[in-house]
Amino acid sequence: MQSHKYTLEPYSGMKTRYQCPSCEKKKVFTKYIDTHTKEYLNDAVGKCDRVIKCGYHYKPKQYFNNNNIPFDPPAIGKTHTIVEPKTKASFINIEVMNKTMATKHPNYFIDYLTQLCGHQITNYLAGKYNIGTSNHWNGASIFWQMDIEGRLRTGKIMLYNPSNGKRIKEPYNHINWMHKSLKLDNFSLEQCYFGEHLLNEDSSKPVAIVESEKTAIISSVYLPEFIWMACGGINNINKAKTEVLKGRDVVLFPDLKCYDLWNDKIPSLTKMATFRISTLLRDKATEAEKEQGLDIADYLVRLNPKIN
């Protein structure tokens, strides 16, 4: 089996993410490491997480070619890859989630939903999608990831503007995780799609996947003929998460600017489910809207800004 001498450093906290040498954003750059020595190849060799807005990806082979250094990857049959046993996923006690959903502390995303949909629908959505409240930041929300077995994988903590529903990204991106906030020892994270637990409601209902948790929640009100789930990031649609969708009809609704990226993923996933990709935004959006990278929820709330 062929082994790769260099690989992108696995995520183990923000200490493993650096300033991008291209866009100069902090905590978004992943460096390549030597799989044997665990040392970085070079500070500029790596990949920016901001795939759409930056796209910087300087690969080891390019680095060696640019510096006239011989690049000899391990030959097949001459090395052995040691496959370590897969660590079992960790889970968070359901009572932790229940407490975050019962608290009376401010929740700015809930405030935005109430402004958009009214109290009755907002309460329904909060229970359906397990939206909790965190005191990590005043007004912060928790989007719990519950799998199809009803187990809590983790919860994503985010802060929103209560007036316009936009995420707070200044002076820094307000995102954290419950397994980190709870300081759980030896926690082995294995994420699932946000909203995966809803697959139990109807085995014949088609599934819609979007990037953000907010978009999945809002879209479920306007287009209830789908089970709406979120992958939580541009690059977070993968085989491991998608196994749970075996036999399902799935429609991808990518944000503007992400159509090609998501469309390229489909061939590797079609053995598990029937995938299609919506061209609605790509075909109808203006150039200005494409530049903004809007998603389907941005359009839906325009069509009917108040649901009662």
- Token output for 192: 């699932």
Beta bridge partners of 133: 141
Contact 129, 219 (CB under 8 A): no
Q: Give the pLDDT score at 246.
A: 94
Contact 218, 208 (CB under 8 A): no
Dist. CA 219–CA 138, nearest whole Å: 26
Q: Give the pLDDT score at 75.
A: 45
Q: Give the pLDDT score at 234.
A: 86
- Digit-coded pLDDT (tens) for 48-62: 988 877 888 888 888
Q: Look up residue 205 and give its amino acid.
A: K
Closest to 269 measured CA to CA, from 236, 229, 242, 234: 242
Rounded to two decimals, the pTM is 0.77
Closest to 202 measured CA to CA, from 219, 220, 217, 222: 220
Q: Give the pLDDT score at 76.
A: 46
Ranges under pLDDT 50 in the chain: 1-3, 74-83, 305-308
- Digit-coded pLDDT (tens) for 148-199: 999 999 999 999 999 999 999 998 989 999 999 999 988 999 999 999 999 9
Side-chain-side CA neighbours of residue 109 (13 Å): 26
* Residue found by looking up tokens 């097949």 in the block: 76
- Measured between its terminal Cα atoms, the distance across the chain in Å is 59
- Region of 221 please: left (phi>0), alpha (psi -120 to 50) or beta: alpha
Q: What are phi and psi of 177, to 5 degrees?
A: -130, 145
